[in-house]
Amino acid sequence: MKALSFPAGNMKTLDRLEGGTRLGTHFDRKLNSDAPLVSVITICLNAEKTLEQTIQSVINQTYNPIEFLIIDGGSTDSTLDIIRKYDNQIDYWVSEPDGGTSDAINKGIQLSCGALIGILCADDFYEKGAVETIIGNYSADTPKIYHGDMTRIDVHTGEKTFLLKPPEDLGRMFQGCAVNTPATFVDRRIFEKHGLFNRDYKFADDHEFLLRSFSLGVEFNYVPQNITFMREGGRSQKHYIRACWESFNLSIRYGGAVPKTLFVFLITVLKKAVERRIAKWCPPLLKRYNSLKILSLKNSTWHGN
């Protein structure tokens, strides 16, 4: 299996640092394995507080072979020290300035070799056995997007807040990103046929890719188990109005009904604004609100603080 031969785009070489076992010779053993190779791409920038847990969640997976790549945007904190600590357990890592999140993701996809590709940001971490769970549903016959459940984690307390399950009707992607991107693994043939992440979208690039794939008839395979833990407060949550606006525009672009999509956009923005106010003035009330949204956490093996 060879890496994708997409154009490199804005990939820079100035101030570039790299490492990992792929620079040695043992990587061929993974390529020659009878089991499907799964690539996990972690993108990061100044992620010293969370990256180590992300790395450990990948290298301690029960499935083998996994190709692990880290794409760093030129961190200036201790992120690189953490990466170097695990140099012999990371297949390849690179640190250099890039064009943002989607550019870093695309770079990782270009460098990857796996039949399935998962994207795990440095704020998130996998459930133990997550990759093995996905592979248990994998078929090489038809290119699919495999996706599962995701548990949100309070960034301040480390407590689980609620479990996110995708809707039965994925047509709801026209009103928002209905699939949990950090709990998603994409057959590489889909990237080869339909392209990479669109760099025109700064906050809804994952939604754009998933909605584009859905509109082009790509098959989605839901795996009803928790796959990933995601810390609240990521870039799309910090810039939720811009993220919602991008999602609204791309939903219209791909054929969503204007009145319904606009209504969902306004309701989402209002909901986020109310949640922020509650979090600021009455945190216990927000915790109670989140507890009402919990569907089931019994199958999650991570127990937090």
For the stretch 218-228, pLDDT in tens is 999 999 999 99
Distance of CA 45 to the CA centre of its chain: 15
Domains and their CATH numbers in the chain: 1-136 (3.90.550.10), 138-179+215-305 (no CATH)
ω into residue 65 within 30 of 0, thus cis?
yes
Predicted pLDDT of residue 11: 42
Question: Which two structure tokens, joined as six digits, stand for 110?
Answer: 């270009």
Q: What is the DSSP letter of 256?
A: -
Residue type, 126: Y
Question: What are the backbone dihedrals phi and psi of residue 39, each rounded to the nearest 5 degrees, phi first?
Answer: -100, 130
Question: Which two structure tokens, joined as six digits, stand for 86?
Answer: 């695990």
**What is the distance between the alpha carbons of residues 20 and 18, in angstroms, rounded to a whole number?**
7
For the stretch 138-196, pLDDT in tens is 999 999 999 999 999 987 778 888 888 998 888 877 766 789 999 999 999 999 999 99
Question: What are the backbone dihedrals phi and psi of residue 262, each rounded to the nearest 5 degrees, phi first?
Answer: -65, -40
Strands 116-119 and 219-231, by their bridges, are unpaired
- Could you count the other beta carbons within 10 Å of the beta carbon of residue 259? 8
Question: Which two structure tokens, joined as six digits, stand for 235?
Answer: 């870039």
Contact call for residues 45 and 114 (beta carbons, < 8 A): no
Per-residue confidence band for 298, with pLDDT thresholds at 50, 70 and 90: very low
pTM, two decimals, is: 0.83
Contact call for residues 27 and 21 (beta carbons, < 8 A): yes
Q: What residues are paired with 231 via a beta bridge? A: 153
For the segment 189-210, the average pLDDT, to the nearest whole number, is 94
For the stretch 241-264, pLDDT in tens is 787 778 778 887 887 666 666 666
Kind plus residue range of the DSSP H or E element containing 233: none
CB proximity list for 145: less than 8 A, separation 6 or greater? 179, 184, 185, 186, 187, 190, 210, 213, 218, 219, 220, 221
For the stretch 52-80, pLDDT in tens is 999 999 999 999 999 999 999 999 999 99
